[in-house]
Amino acid sequence: MKSIHQTISMVSLGFALLIFNPALAQVDADSVMIRKIYTQVLKDHTMDQNLRELVYKIGPRISGSAAAEQTVVWAKSVMEGYKPDRVYLQPVTVPRWERGDTERAYFSASGGKSRLDISALGGSIPTDGILQSEVVEVNSWKALADMTDAEIAGKFVFFNRAMDPTEVEVFKAYLKAVDQRSLGAIAAAKRGAVGALIRSLTLSKDNVPHTGAVSYDEKVKKIPAVALSTISADRLSAALKADPRMILSLELKCRLLSPVRSNNVIAEIKGWEFPQEIVTLGAHLDSWDLGQGASDDGTGLVQSMEMLRVFNQLGFRPARTVRVVLYMNEEAGAHGAVEYARQATLNGEKHIAVMESDAGGFAARGFRVEAGSKALKQFRQWAKLFETYKAGDIQLEQRGIDLVPMKNKALALISLDCDDSRLFDIHHSRLDTYDKINPREVAMGAAAMSAMVLLISKYGLQ
C-alpha cells in the first residue's frame, strides 16, 4: 500500500509531466486506458460464457451447415446486446461439403484387417464403393518427382513427411508441412494416383486424424484425400516396409453439395472524428465438423465480440470507425473474407488496419504485423504498452487467411500472436473442444486486441 504522502507525490509528479512533457503524459493516458480495458476483460466472465454457449449450444459449424447459420444468428444477437451503432449481415455464397456417415481405411495384415484412423480432408470427393490399391510412401516432393509414373499410377500416394519438432515455432513446422495436405491430391493425381493419404499435421503421437482443406485443380482428375493419425501413419509406414505390395482399402461417403447463401456478421461503432477511416478486428464463424471448433476459431470469435462489450462498458467512443467482422468460410476458401474485401473496394472504404484472431486463443505474446516501415515503427513504439501484459512481441509477418483479401487495401494486416505449443495438438480434429481452453488466456488475448484497436483508432497509422 502506498501512503497518502507517496500518492500525493506521485500526483504532483504526474502533474509536472503534464506541464513539461505532453508526449509522456499521452503515453500515460494510453496506459491508464489500456489498464482499464484489461481490468474490464479480466474481471468479467461474459466472454467465457459466450464461448461455452457457442460450443455447447451450437457446436461444430462447418461452412454451409445449419449450425453455421445458427452461429450467424447467435453472433448478431450477442453483438447487438453490446449496443454498437449497427450490426448487419453481409451475404456471401459458400461451398457446402458433408463428411457423410462412413469413412474407413484398412489394410490386410497377418491375422486380419488392420484399421487406420482417418478423416476425409475437407472438400474431398468420395470413393466409389471401396477403393483398393497398393500404396507408395513419399517423404518429400522430390521423392515423388523422382518416381516413375509406372511406380505411382493406380496407387495411393502416402505423404508421410512429419512436422519438424525442432522448429522453435510449431506454427512454422506446420507451414513447412501443410503443402502435403493442400496440394498432395493434385500432385498425386497428376502422376496417375487413385488417392492421397496425408500424415496428420501435428507433433502429437496419437490416434487422432486432423482434417483440413484439400485443393483440387479443375484440369487435374480429382482423387479422394484423407488424413491419417500420426500413429496410423507410422503403422502404415512400417507395414509398407514389411510388404511394399500390401493393399489398402478406403471408403469415403463424403459429398460436395450445391453452394448455399450464408453471411458475414459485421458490427460497427462510428468514429467521432474520422468516421471514414476504418479499423477492424475479427475472426471466423465457421469451423471444421470435428470437435467443437472451440479453439479454432471460437476463441477468436468471442475475443472479437468482447471489444464491443468492453468499449460499451467503459463508455469509450473511438475517433475512427471500429468494426468487428466475423467471416464465414475461412476453412474452405475464405469466401467471406473475399466478399468483405470486394464490398470494401466497391464502397471505396478507407481501411486503416484489419486485425484477426485465429491462432487458438492461447497465451497472447504479441502481434504479427504486415505494414509499411512507418506504420511498423508505430507498432514497435506501442510495444512497450503491451510488454506490461506479456504481449509486446511485434513481428513482421502476415498470418491470417481472412486478412489476405485486404492486402494492399489496408495499411496494416495484424494477427494476434499466441503461444503455439498446444494448438496443433488439437487443430482441425475432434480434440478441439472447450476443455482445452483456458479462459484466462482467452481474456488476455481479447484485452490485447481491444487495446490495439484503441491505439489505432486514436492515432491512425502512417
> To the nearest whole angstrom, how small is the minimum distance from the Cβ of residue 98 to a second copy?
32
Burial of 359 (0-12, 13-18, 19+ CB in 10 A): buried
In terms of phi and psi (left: phi > 0; alpha: psi -120 to 50; beta: otherwise), the region of 154 is: left
- Contact flag: residue 175 with a second copy (CB under 8 A): no
**Alpha-carbon span 150 to 158, nearest angstrom:** 16
Which residues between 361 and 380 bind a second copy (CB under 8 A)? 363, 365
| Cell numbers placing 317 | 467512443
Number of residues that bind a second copy (CB under 8 A): 23
**Which position among 1, 4, 66, 168 is part of the footprint of a second copy (CB under 8 A)?**
168
| Cell numbers placing 155 | 496407387
**Which position among 28, 179, 349, 419 is part of the footprint of a second copy (CB under 8 A)?**
419
Amino acid letter, residue 7: T
Which residues between 178 and 217 bind a second copy (CB under 8 A)? 203
Which span sits near a second copy by CB under 8 A: 93-101, 335-343, 396-404, 414-422? 414-422
Which residues between 19 and 48 bind a second copy (CB under 8 A)? 38-39, 42-43
- Contact flag: residue 440 with a second copy (CB under 8 A): yes
Residue 137, classed as helix, strand or coil, is strand
- Contact flag: residue 438 with a second copy (CB under 8 A): yes
**Which position among 12, 381, 388, 462 is part of the footprint of a second copy (CB under 8 A)?**
388
Tell me whether residue 131 or residue 437 sits nearer to a second copy (CB atom).
Answer: 437
**Alpha-carbon span 376 to 347, nearest angstrom:** 27
- Contact flag: residue 446 with a second copy (CB under 8 A): no
Which span sits near a second copy by CB under 8 A: 139-147, 207-215, 227-235, 385-393? 385-393
**Alpha-carbon span 416 to 359, nearest angstrom:** 7
> To the nearest whole angstrom, how small is the minimum distance from the Cβ of residue 165 to a second copy?
5
CA distances from 132 to 128, 158, 193, 231, 339 (A): 10, 14, 12, 21, 41
CA distances from 79 to 300, 302, 325 (A): 14, 10, 11
Using an 8 Å Cβ cutoff, are 281 and 155 in contact?
no
- Contact flag: residue 5 with a second copy (CB under 8 A): no
**Which position among 165, 315, 373, 408 is part of the footprint of a second copy (CB under 8 A)?**
165
Using an 8 Å Cβ cutoff, are 181 and 288 in contact?
no
Tell me whether residue 193 or residue 449 sits nearer to a second copy (CB atom).
Answer: 449
Residue 435, classed as helix, strand or coil, is helix
**Alpha-carbon span 93 to 8, nearest angstrom:** 61
Tell me whether residue 9 or residue 39 sits nearer to a second copy (CB atom).
Answer: 39
**Which position among 161, 422, 427, 428 is part of the footprint of a second copy (CB under 8 A)?**
422
CA distances from 406 to 40, 92, 340, 367 (A): 31, 16, 9, 17
- Contact flag: residue 402 with a second copy (CB under 8 A): no
For 406-444, b/e burial (b = at least 16 CB within 10 A) is beeebbbbbbbbbbbebbbbbbbbbbbbbebbebebbbb
| Cell numbers placing 270 | 462510428
Tell me whether residue 286 or residue 425 sits nearer to a second copy (CB atom).
Answer: 425
> To the nearest whole angstrom, how small is the minimum distance from the Cβ of residue 207 to a second copy?
15
- Contact flag: residue 444 with a second copy (CB under 8 A): yes
- Contact flag: residue 242 with a second copy (CB under 8 A): no
**Alpha-carbon span 196 to 229, nearest angstrom:** 14
Tell me whether residue 38 or residue 311 sits nearer to a second copy (CB atom).
Answer: 38
Using an 8 Å Cβ cutoff, are 399 and 414 in contact?
no
- Contact flag: residue 141 with a second copy (CB under 8 A): no
- Contact flag: residue 421 with a second copy (CB under 8 A): yes
- Contact flag: residue 425 with a second copy (CB under 8 A): yes
Task: Please give the residue ranges that form the binding site for a second copy (CB under 8 A).
Answer: 38-39, 42-43, 165-166, 168, 170, 203, 363, 365, 388-390, 393, 419, 421-422, 425, 438, 440-441, 444
